[in-house]
Amino acid sequence: MRLRTGVLMTTRTPDPDLKLILGSGSPRRLELLAQIGVTPHAVRPPDIDEDPHKGELPRDYVNRIAAEKAAAVAISDDEVVLCADTTVALGRRIMGKPADAAEAAQFLQLLSGRRHKVITSVAVKRGDKIWQKDVQTSVAVKRLSQAEIDWYLATKDWQGKAGGYAIQGPASMFILWLNGSFHAVMGLPLPESAGLLTAAGYPVTKGLA
């Protein structure tokens, strides 16, 4: 796990009474946590400004946003919060959630026939301490015809998706290969998330007992 300023690597003793708060309104992240038997006590999506800073690189951006999300969620002493942020990076370009179908079409045209990176950063906060990790995955998209782009836009599956697509939905037929974490592309890398929660003292495996 890479050490960054303000990111704590110490591990807390497991606390069976610790409650998990999911700091995200994403149903995909909720579903992914359920795959490892983790059910949040509550869902509290933070409201922050997610606009990139001028000249900000994709990895720096996604790590900053995840940390700011975690910092923005109010928790009590018996709670731990997990937040995450995902972005699609085409070189130095940050491709967030498209504002409309026209921007989604532009994103798909740019990704067509090219490789890009999907970066997801996870931040876990307990008290005033934050544990954080980012995961980068390389993804190759086949060359898309205009008919394929129009078809995908009509599904509306692009809405609310970084880069204008979701790998687990209809756009899966556009993905030639990936190198990295499928779950991270969906929005939450499970091994890394479980590791951060464990470091913060949340007993991840209690849901599997």
State the DSSP string of 54-102: TT--HHHHHHHHHHHHHHHS---TTEEEEEEEEEEEETTEEE---SSHH
The pLDDT value given to residue 147: 97
Task: Please give the Cα distance from 132 to 65 (Å, whole number).
Answer: 11
Q: Any residues with CB less than 8 A from the CB of 167 and at least 6 apart, and which?
A: 139, 175, 178, 182, 185, 186
Kindly list the catalytic residues: 85
The pLDDT value given to residue 13: 78
The pLDDT value given to residue 1: 32
The pLDDT value given to residue 209: 47
Q: Are the CB atoms for 175 and 115 separated by under 8 Å?
A: no
Instruction: Name residue 116's beta-bridge partners.
Output: 139
Going by DSSP bridges, is the β-strand pair 42-43/79-90 parallel, antiparallel, or unpaired?
Answer: unpaired
pLDDT, tens digit, for every residue of 38-63?
999 999 999 999 999 999 999 999 99
Task: Please give the Cα distance from 56 to 158 (Å, whole number).
Answer: 24
Residues of the chain with pLDDT under 50: 1-8, 209
Q: Are the CB atoms for 67 and 58 separated by under 8 Å?
A: no
Task: Please give the Cα distance from 56 to 113 (Å, whole number).
Answer: 25
Among 109, 124, 105, smallest CA distance to 188 is for 124
Quick one: how far is CA 160 from the chain centroid? 12
Round the CA-based radius of gyration of the chain to a whole number and report it. 17
The length of the chain is 209
Residue 86 tokens read as 């995902």
Among 188, 180, 104, smallest CA distance to 136 is for 180
